[in-house]
Amino acid sequence: MKIVILDGHALNPGDLSWQGFEKLGDVTCYPRTPDEKIVERIGNAEILIVNKKTIDGSIMDKCPALRYIGVLATGYNIIDTEAAKKRNITVTNIPSYSTAAVSQAVFAFLLEFANGVHEHNQSVMSGDWCKAQDFCYWTHPMTELNGKTLGIAGFGSIGQQVAKTALAFGMNVIAFTRTAEKIASFNEKYRTLKDDGTLPVKPVTKDELFMQSDFLTLHCPLTEQTKGLVNAQTLSLMKPEAVLINTSRGPVVDEFAVRKALDENKLGGFACDVISAEPMRADNVLLGAPRCIITPHVAWAARETRQRLMDIAVSNLKAFLDGKPQNTV
């Protein structure tokens, strides 16, 4: 069984092992693959493992031995799944591997806006405290999370973990989702987290989500319905001091509208780990934006998280080879 990994570096820059795949077949791993080399490198492989390289019907036609495509991510929009289905190619993804890591990243962003730890540290290290007349000072407006409203767009596993963490901080949590039963199920399970008789998570409409949130975090998949969910109109509903956080997919946000809102002081802050085109382009409108924090798609990158992804990817392939495919899309 020939297994080709087209872009393995992001998952495994050298601190993990491909041994799990090597036990299942003859593995050829490329750290990165330019688009023009995709077909050549897949060749006559039956198994393709891929992270971010786009695989469409034309590539499948040129690689007729392909029987399985394993995506090293939760999102699988890089694969033409309809083309794969027509060619009897099984496609799998990795669900729920990054729940803990991404929810942790959300609160790293949220706490930076609330406390300004990095900004205060930079001030101290530059000597400002040594020159201060008083025993303390602050360069960043600080706020308590207790009592603030956290809005969550999308209520899958990550959205639910974020809600649990927010409740532990004493925040009021509201959520907008197309699957309202997930909120009801969460509330039934975690109703004891609120001692005032209110629901742990209050379901709201989309407009209510934008209007009521002090902090709004996005956890919805990228679909035709969610593309541009955050735009000039929805941003106009937000409190001018509110903070928006995106760890879902870049195109869920209209970056031009966000930059305009930041420049005009109509949005308190924006943080994201994803961008419309990755790697980020030098002309991206968010570069240099005020009150804006951007990390390079690393919310998933803790070693423990990547190891979990690797383990699930191997399990997916083994299940396929055993005739019992799992996590198919």
What CATH architecture does domain 99-294 belong to?
3-Layer(aba) Sandwich (3.40)
Q: Determine the pLDDT at residue 51.
A: 96
C-beta of residue 258 within 8 angstroms of C-beta of residue 286: yes
Angle formed by the axes of helices 99-115 and 157-168, nearest 10°: 40
Phi then psi dihedrals of residue 48, to 5 deg: -120, 130
Give the pLDDT confidence of 234-265 residue by residue, as tens digits. 999 999 999 999 999 999 999 999 999 999 99
Instruction: Classify burial at 125, counting beta carbons within 10 Å of its beta carbon; exposed 0-12, middle 13-18, buried 19 or more.
Output: exposed
Q: At the top level of CATH, which class does the domain 2-95+303-321 belong to?
A: alpha beta
Task: State pLDDT tens for residues 147-204.
Answer: 999 999 999 999 999 999 999 999 999 999 998 899 999 999 887 666 666 789 999 9
Report domain extents, the chain: 2-95+303-321, 99-294
**Same CATH fold, 99-294 and 2-95+303-321?**
yes
- 189-198 long-range CB contacts below 8 Å, 24 or more apart? 190/163, 190/164, 193/164, 193/167, 193/168, 194/167
Cα 28 from Cα 48, distance rounded (Å)? 10
- Cut 0.85: pTM above it: yes
Count Cβ atoms within 10 A of the Cβ of residue 39 and give its class: 0-12 exposed, 13-18 middle, 19 or more buried.
Answer: middle
Q: Which tens digit of pLDDT belongs to each residue from 138-161?
A: 998 899 999 999 999 999 999 999
Catalytic residues: 249, 278, 297
Q: Tokens 């025993």 sit at which residue?
A: 135
Residue reference for tokens 């990390």: 295
